[in-house]
A and B are shown apart, each in its own frame.
Chain A
Amino acid sequence: MDPAPEQPLEPEPGAVLIPAGRMLSPEELFAARSRDQKLPLRSHGQKVFLPDGSEAQEEQLRLCRQELWTLLAEERVERRGSLVTAEWSPQDGVVTLKSFAGKFWQTMGFSEGGQQRLYPEEALYLLECGSIQLFYQDLPLSIQEAYEMLLAQGTKGFLKYQVFSHLKRLGYVVRRFQPSLVQSPYERQLNLESGSIWSSEKCHGKRKRRHSSPWSTDKKPKVLENPLPEVVGTAESQATSSQYAPSQNSRSLEEKPQESSHVEDPGGSSWPPESPGQVPGQTDPHGRTLKGRGGSQDTATDDNGNNSKPRWDFEKIAFPNMACDRRHTLLLAPAPELLPQNVTAREIDAAPWCQQLNQRKEKLSRREREQQRGTTPFRSDVNADPEVQRCTSWRAYKELLKRRWQQKAWNQPPNLWDQPVTPLLTPGQAASPDLMNLSQTCAPSSGCPSRVGMFP
């Protein structure tokens, strides 16, 4: 640096000259190649509770402080070949890379118009790490100047950058929050993302937000699964309100912008886009929010320009119910300004189509019928019996069983049923003729079937 800097004229009275920061001489730069890279531990022994003015404490404090100043005073020195050149453009609010990106390109930055770009917070973080050299109007920016220029949103920008850099230093991959990149539960159900490039980890492209400043979105680390509760920016799904049930009776020609969401139906159905059902005779306009309308229009143009997939909240979009219970078959023509260029649509009465559908009742198997009914017919629950419910213990239950059996089988001798089974014959005794007599000694009682095991 020029040792005698030219003092510019005072632009205004009372202005104060801020001196330049420390610039290293070539010798110091050269000597910085071989400086210590290790981070010393913070403590020189345990902290103490009371200061007692002793020499030992003073010495410890001096050592700690010296170490702190040494660390803080070190300047960043890098080889020019390992620095990526980057240029800050305040109009776009992004940093453009002028030479090829290094390893950080895998997780940071985006491509736009054939150029590699970085968001301001990413560029600032990389500058602090010593990976890039940031230029503005052909002069390299120091970290202080970069803080002032890139975090131009005041306290909010500064705090956001602190959060961002903290998470990056911990090792996370931190990207700007985009509501469109978060899958809705319905999409997850459909498994909509299984084949698309957007779900790939290697995707670098990001949607450029032409209509909002770079700091308007929230950040979301990639490790978190659940989206942040507040969704900043235009969310197309929120444009369609829940009042959109088919039983409503409004012909909403003035609400056509809301239907832009249906233009790019991923199913690619041949039906014309949905419009609320019309029961003849009632034309109640509903008040919709203007904000939603403007928002969805913006995103419609944005999407068409960028070939990106819309993310719709299918739980809020109401499709006409054409089933047999509440048939709504007259579908109105959509507004032509909502459709893409080559597509024309007309009004359709779907009644003849519905008649051609298979209207026969489905024949269910017994198991399916049972499933639908929710019960199994032959099984009865023991606990449903009120007498059983009145039993308070297992002993009481056993007594209840005994009582019931006695009532049922009062004329059957208990000795035949309650005792363990004792066969008259064992396998070893099979061949003796005395056994024939044995079998005749027990006279079959009236209720007992004559059942004697006889072996040949």
Chain B
Amino acid sequence: MLLVEVKAGQALVWGTEAARTLRERLGVGGRPVGSLARGPRQNARLGLPLLLLPEEARLLAEIGVATLVTAPRPNPGQQAQAVAAYHREQESGFREQRALASEARRRRLKDLEEHIAEARAKKQRGRGRSSKERREVGGGAFGGGAGSVCPCSNFPSPQPGPQPPFPETAMLVQLPTARPRPAWARPLDWHHPSPDWPHAGNPSHELRYQVYKDLWERGYFLTSGGKFGGDFLVYPGDPLRFHAHFVAQCCAPGDSLPLPDLVSAGRLGTNVRKTLLLCSPQPDGSVAYTSLQWAGLP
């Protein structure tokens, strides 16, 4: 059972596995809004958390795949235990890292043993020759040879001598993305409005949700349509590989649609080669669709 934490109307997914399940098995994409760990100072690719649309979160809760929970409150009783556990874990981690560092260093020395031996042999041979020859020939070769194995010349002998200490500042620390300790949280009742879920009962939300659900059940992949001035963008498959087919605009059945708005929405859709889809949920539960396409374009 997936858990989606909701705070102030924003539903965030913090785990990669959960995001993967949602996208690959359910066709619910979400939008990453955090900095990417590998490159936090660029905007092209963003990372966790994944922001779900309110309609997506509600759909997941309705079909029973995920539970919406509110953010857990911190438990003061566990604080001291948690601090002690953290320190213990840091110390043990530090010891292990030190062991790993020395092990890695030993392995590296071993790999370069041959090079070290070679360099030593060359040095011996170089000393054996006359000084004149050394100056003529060895000047270049020696310099080149010495240069290539220069770091090795600083290494101690192959026997493990005193290793440089592994300082505390060299210890690697993780800045965890998701919560590092389990926590208890209250499930959210998304049928009723609350400070954490203000969408319940909101007529525009209900409207969009019916359209979202209907399109999702037909197998489309929907994302936020703010880019092209609509409510949703409708993809035939995963947005990673396919272009959107429609820009969905939700309208309530009784609402009048001013002609300039219709024209502007149509033009927007045409300019990006997508069909405008006007969606109206009917009282009987089905959704009526009207599509608009510019006739003149090939």
**Do A17 and B45 contact each other (CB < 8 Å), given the known contacts A29-B93, A72-B32, A127-B175?**
no
Is A37 part of the contact surface with B, judged by Cβ < 8 Å? yes
Which chain A residue lies CB-closest to B89?
Answer: A1
Report yes or no: B240 in contact with A65, Cβ–Cβ below 8 A.
yes
Interface residues on A, range: 35 or more
Report yes or no: A170 in contact with B43, Cβ–Cβ below 8 A.
yes
Report yes or no: B173 in contact with A78, Cβ–Cβ below 8 A.
yes
Report yes or no: A143 in contact with B34, Cβ–Cβ below 8 A.
yes
Alpha-carbon separation in the docked complex, A68 to B36 (Å): 11
**Which A residues between 63 and 116 are near B, CB-CB below 8 angstroms?**
64-65, 68-69, 71-81, 83
Which one of A1, A21, A48, A78 lies within 8 Å of B177 (CB-CB)?
A: A21
Nearest Cβ distance between residue A187 and chain B, in whole angstroms? Answer: 36
Residue from B9, B97, B172 having most chain A Cβ neighbours under 10 A: B172
Pick from B71-79, B141-149, B279-287 the stretch touching chain A: B71-79
Which one of A33, A148, A169 lies within 8 Å of B35 (CB-CB)?
A: A169
- Residues in A neighbouring B16, C-beta threshold 8 A: 22, 69, 72-73
Report yes or no: B174 in contact with A47, Cβ–Cβ below 8 A.
no
Nearest Cβ distance between residue A67 and chain B, in whole angstroms? Answer: 9
Report yes or no: B10 in contact with A155, Cβ–Cβ below 8 A.
yes
Is A5 part of the contact surface with B, judged by Cβ < 8 Å? yes
Is B85 part of the contact surface with A, judged by Cβ < 8 Å? yes
Which chain A residue lies CB-closest to B237?
Answer: A51
Alpha-carbon separation in the docked complex, A154 to B71 (Å): 12
Flag B175-217 by CB within 8 Å of A: 1 or 0 each: 1111111111111000000010000000000000000000000
Report yes or no: A158 in contact with B179, Cβ–Cβ below 8 A.
no
Alpha-carbon separation in the docked complex, A148 to B72 (Å): 10
Alpha-carbon separation in the docked complex, A81 to B29 (Å): 38
Interface residue SS majority, chain B: mixed
Alpha-carbon separation in the docked complex, A5 to B97 (Å): 22
Report yes or no: A26 in contact with B184, Cβ–Cβ below 8 A.
no
Which chain B residue lies CB-closest to A19?
Answer: B182
- Residues in B neighbouring A144, C-beta threshold 8 A: 5, 12, 14, 49, 177-179
**Which A residues between 132 and 147 are near B, CB-CB below 8 angstroms?**
133, 137-140, 142-145, 147
- Residues in A neighbouring B81, C-beta threshold 8 A: 6
Give me the interface of A with B, judged by CB distance under 8 Å. 1-2, 5-8, 10-12, 14-24, 26-27, 29-30, 32-33, 36-37, 39, 42, 47-51, 57, 60-61, 64-65, 68-69, 71-81, 83, 125, 127-130, 133, 137-140, 142-145, 147-148, 154-155, 158, 162, 165-166, 168-171
14 new A-B contacts at CB < 8 Å, known A26-B97, A158-B10? A11-B75, A14-B187, A20-B179, A21-B15, A39-B44, A51-B242, A64-B238, A130-B175, A138-B83, A138-B86, A140-B86, A144-B177, A147-B12, A148-B71
Contact sample, A vs B, 19 pairs, CB 8 Å cutoff? A5-B182, A8-B77, A16-B185, A20-B180, A23-B180, A26-B100, A39-B42, A39-B45, A42-B45, A51-B237, A71-B47, A76-B37, A79-B169, A80-B169, A125-B35, A133-B175, A140-B175, A169-B35, A170-B43
Give me the interface of B with A, judged by CB distance under 8 Å. 3, 5, 7-10, 12, 14-16, 19-20, 23-24, 32-45, 47-49, 67, 69, 71-72, 75, 77-79, 81-83, 85-86, 89, 93, 96-97, 100-101, 104, 167-187, 195, 236-238, 240-243
